[in-house]
Amino acid sequence: MSIHVSNVTKLYGEQKALNEVSFKVNSGEVIGFLGPNGAGKSTMMKIITGYIPQSSGTVEVCGIDVREDSLAVRKKVGYLPEHNPLYTDMYVREYLAFVAGVHGASKSKVDEMIEKTGLTPESHKRIGELSKGYRQRVGLAQAMIHDPEVLILDEPTTGLDPNQLVDIRKLIREIGKEKTVMLSTHIMQEVEAVCDRVIIINKGEIATDKKTTEMQGSEGTVILNVEFDEPVSASALKKIAGVKRVQHVEGGHYLIEASEARDVRSDVFKFAVDHGRFILQSHQEKAKLEDIFRSITGQK
């Protein structure tokens, strides 16, 4: 087991950013930690890497309790923070040599990482002169320089252009062959492209934890996108046979996740009539990963 999070709650003053979160990551897995902005992704990652303490619950990385021995954990973990703070005045090679020194890693690691992350043509430049894509490569190189078992990457592709995105995803897939990787993102396609498993977090709680293939093969799941003239009771909608989940989008607009085997459309129509509501529009689609994410998080 690489990461074991158990009943972790995090309070920032009054605000609960994480609520009793539990999950496990096996070694060698590439996990997508998916959720909308403010879901608690960065908070969870900072706790796993030992940068901030949880309010309650336990986190173990490679069997080491993060609160008991955060230094030992940092040796096992490479971390690319969300707003990758790099020293923009330093040269790429100089910066990586500096990071290697901090970790007590050998100088040869610098060349190895430059090569591995495709930084060779840019390695003589100042970090401040690099494009965002190359800066992310520097961030990945610094995260891996001490050869950690586990990599925690907080939104590694945010802000990259489409070409850079493809390159960095490819690089992460390569890295994932050797290491346990947990990456956060708010982009569903990223998970499909890179991850073995997806954990969806919403409002500080785990909403789903499944293999990517299981999610994609949510065979027999449909999403009924329905708009009533006014809000209805979501819990009453959920009682309709075959309905798995109901997400309120806004006003009278709902996403209903249902089993394909039992066509719920006529029941939803009957529901509207029984409750004196009109259906303004409704359409049903076979659920794709993207739809399931929306139905779980209420994203439009």
User: By beta-carbon distance, which residue lies closest to Mg ion?
Assistant: 42
**Integer Cα distance of 198 and 31 in angstroms:** 6
Strand 279-286 versus strand 221-228 pairing type: antiparallel
The residue among 154, 293, 271 whose CA lies nearest residue 223 is 293
Position among 17, 64, 119, 183 found at the interface with ligand ADP (CB under 6 A): 17
Q: How far is the CB of 12 from ligand ADP (least distance, A)?
A: 3
Position among 4, 5, 23, 40 found at the interface with ligand ADP (CB under 6 A): 40
Q: How far is the CB of 153 from Mg ion (least distance, A)?
A: 11
DSSP states along the chain: --EEEEEEEEEETTEEEEEEEEEEE-TT-EEEEE--TTSSHHHHHHHHTTSS--SEEEEEETTEETTT-HHHHHHHEEEE-TT----TTSBHHHHHHHHHHHHT--THHHHHHHHHTT-GGGTTSBGGGS-HHHHHHHHHHHHHTT--SEEEEESTTTT--HHHHHHHHHHHHHHHTTSEEEEEES-HHHHHHH-SEEEEEETTEEEEEEEHHHHHT-TTEEEEEEEESS---HHHHHTSTTEEEEEEEETTEEEEEEESSS--HHHHHHHHHHTT--EEEEEEEEPPHHHHHHHHH---
Position among 6, 7, 11, 12 found at the interface with ligand ADP (CB under 6 A): 12
* Residue 41 touching ligand ADP (CB under 6 A): yes
Q: Pick between residue 186 and residue 248 the one whose CB is nearest to Mg ion.
A: 186
- For the segment 76-95, give every residue that binds Mg ion (CB under 5 A): 82
Q: What does 38 interact with, of Mg ion, ligand ADP, none (CB < 5 to 8 A by kind)?
A: ligand ADP
Q: Pick between residue 15 and residue 108 the one whose CB is nearest to ligand ADP.
A: 15
Q: How far is CA 79 from the centre of its chain?
A: 14
* Residue 117 touching ligand ADP (CB under 6 A): no
Q: How far is the CB of 106 from Mg ion (least distance, A)?
A: 33
Q: Pick between residue 29 and residue 154 the one whose CB is nearest to Mg ion.
A: 154
Position among 18, 23, 30, 42 found at the interface with Mg ion (CB under 5 A): 42
* Residue 202 touching Mg ion (CB under 5 A): no
Q: Pick between residue 154 and residue 257 the one whose CB is nearest to Mg ion.
A: 154
- For the segment 125-164, give every residue that binds ligand ADP (CB under 6 A): none
Q: How far is the CB of 37 from ligand ADP (least distance, A)?
A: 4
Q: Pick between residue 37 and residue 266 the one whose CB is nearest to ligand ADP.
A: 37
* Residue 15 touching ligand ADP (CB under 6 A): yes
**Which spans of this chain sit near Mg ion (rule: CB under 5 A)?**
41-42, 82
**Which spans of this chain sit near ligand ADP (rule: CB under 6 A)?**
12, 15, 17, 35, 37-43
